[in-house]
Amino acid sequence: MRQLAFDFEAVGVAAIVVASDVLRRQDRGRRAYLSGQAAEASVLRAYERRGASLLNQRWRGQSGEIDMILRAPDTYVFCEVKQAASFDLALQRLHQGQMRRIYAAASEYLGLLPEGQLAPVRFDLGIVDGRGDVRILENAFGHF
C-alpha cells in the first residue's frame, strides 16, 4: 500500500500566504455582511418608530436589489442603507449607477402592486455612522 504524504516544503510559504489572504478576505466579507445586517436593523427600527412597516427586505428583482421596502401610512418607501465611519462617508457610498438600479428594481416591484406605477413612492437613504446613530434622509435621491 502506497502512502501519500503532503510535502509542505515543496509547496512553500507562498501557498500558506495565499491561504491566509483568502481567510482574511472571507473574514472581512463576513464582518461586512453582519455589519450591513445590523445597520439595516437599526434603520428599520427608526422607520417603525415613525409608523412604517416592513414589506420586504433585500428584495431582488431582475434589475437589482432594494435593501428595504416599507409602507408608510400613505407611501411606499424604497430605502437604500449605507453605513460608514461618519454620515458624510456613508452619503458618498451611494452612486448614480446604484440609484438607476434601485429605480429600475422599484419599477419592477411596483408592477406587482394593484396601484402599479401610480402608487405613491419615495426613495430614502438610511445612513448609519460608526457609533450606530441613524439618520433617514427622505426623498434622498429624487422622485420616481
How far does Cα 53 stand from its chain's mean position?
18
* pLDDT grade for 129, boundaries at 50, 70 and 90: very high
Work out the average pLDDT over 3-17. 56
Among 79, 82, 38, residue whose Cα is nearest residue 58: 79
Query: How buried is residue 135: exposed, middle or buried, by Cβ count under 10 Å (0-12/13-18/19+)?
Result: middle
DSSP code string of the chain? -PPP---HHHH-HHHHHHHHHHHHHHHHHHHHHHHHHHHHHHHHHHHHHTT-EEEEEEEE-SS-EEEEEEEETTEEEEEEEEE-SSHHHHHHT--HHHHHHHHHHHHHHHTTSTTGGGS-EEEEEEEE-TT--EEEETTTT---
> What domains are there in the chain, each with its CATH number?
11-137 (3.40.1350.10)
Neighbours of 139 (CB within 10 A): 11
Average pLDDT, the chain: 87
Whether the pLDDT of residue 2 is over 70: the answer is no
Distance CA 83, CA 92 (A): 10
Whether the pLDDT of residue 120 is over 80: the answer is yes
Q: 23-79, pLDDT tens digit by residue?
A: 677 777 787 788 889 999 999 999 999 999 999 999 999 999 999 999 999 999 999
